């Protein structure tokens, strides 16, 4: 007896259950499901990790020019240097620089040692850095007599003595240009302001021992001194008697 095959007839209005998906289409659907499953697990994990560890830490800088600490004895510290106490040799070791040493003075009877370290980097900023050491306990006449040349270059003996002298002033000439708004935001309102005929402007902060000069002709200058010495140094600066001149 033979078999008779009849074609399948679908009644009108009845849909055939036919899989129209191609093999490639099925593969894409499977991969999409795997990706969604992975994300559903990974996103909560990373969110929990962020909550536990917190946001990435912000970079912290030390030795910022507006961070001045005033001490009870009338001295101050800035850049990790305690004025009137930190010896010049500590700065040489820190900057790994042999500074150019010269004998200077507000007056011939009051000499000092000026140490020019050239460009240094403190915190995120670069600046020309000079340190002044007063020679209060040394006979002034001998210092001037032993100085070599018209520029007051120190002799070997003087240089050795100078390295042990405490730093009494810092002259900081930043590479960046300062403006009023940024200075007000970092240093606060000055106690007094002095304008010069040549366009220079001085903002005075006696409590911090800081004289800040806006210099349209060259670098701005931040001059640090112990608050107890502030008046004498300001007078020397404003009258043009201070030996450290602003650099172009």
Confidence of residue 162 (pLDDT cuts 50, 70, 90): confident
Q: Where are the domains of the chain?
A: 21-58, 69-238
Higher local confidence (pLDDT), 71 or 136: 71
- Rounded distance, CA 224 to CA 39, Å? 57
Mean per-residue pLDDT for 153-171? 88
Task: Write phi, then psi, for 148 (nearest 5 degrees).
Answer: -95, 130
Predicted confidence (pLDDT) at residue 53 exceeds the cutoff of 80 = no
Closest to 171 (Cα-Cα) out of 216, 124, 120: 120
pLDDT, tens only, 201-224? 999 999 999 999 999 988 999 999
Residue 139 pLDDT greater than 60, yes or no: yes
CA distance 193 to 184: 13
- List the structure tokens of 49: 């990790």
Local confidence band at 130 (pLDDT 50, 70, 90 cut-offs): very high
* 172 confidence band (pLDDT: 50, 70, 90): very high
Taking the C-alpha atoms of residue 21 and residue 133, their distance in angstroms, rounded to an integer, is 88
* Beta strands at 210-214 and 201-205: parallel, antiparallel or unpaired: antiparallel
């Amino acid at each position: 007896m033979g078999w008779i095959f009849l074609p399948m007839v679908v009644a009108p209005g009845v849909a055939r259950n036919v899989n129209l998906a191609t093999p490639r289409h099925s593969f894409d659907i499977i991969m999409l499901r795997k990706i969604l499953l992975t994300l559903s697990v990974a996103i909560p994990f990373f969110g929990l990790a962020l909550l536990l560890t917190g946001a990435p830490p912000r970079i912290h800088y030390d030795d910022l020019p507006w961070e001045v600490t005033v001490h009870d004895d009338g001295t101050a510290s800035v850049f990790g240097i305690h004025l009137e106490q930190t010896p010049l040799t500590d700065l040489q070791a820190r900057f790994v620089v042999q500074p150019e040493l010269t004998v200077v003075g507000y007056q011939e009877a009051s000499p000092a040692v000026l140490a020019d370290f050239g460009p240094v980097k403190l915190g995120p900023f670069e600046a020309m850095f000079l340190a002044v050491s007063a020679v209060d306990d040394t006979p002034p006449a001998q210092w001037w007599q032993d100085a070599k040349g018209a520029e007051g270059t120190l002799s070997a003996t003087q240089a050795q003595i100078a390295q042990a002298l405490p730093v009494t002033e810092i002259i900081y000439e930043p590479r960046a240009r300062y403006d009023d708004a940024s200075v007000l935001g970092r240093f606060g309102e000055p106690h007094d302001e002095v304008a010069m005929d040549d366009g220079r402007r001085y903002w005075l902060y006696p409590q911090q021992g800081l004289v800040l000069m806006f210099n349209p002709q060259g670098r701005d200058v931040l001059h640090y001194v112990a608050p107890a010495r502030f008046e004498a140094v300001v007078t020397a600066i404003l009258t043009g008697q201070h030996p450290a001149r602003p650099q172009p």
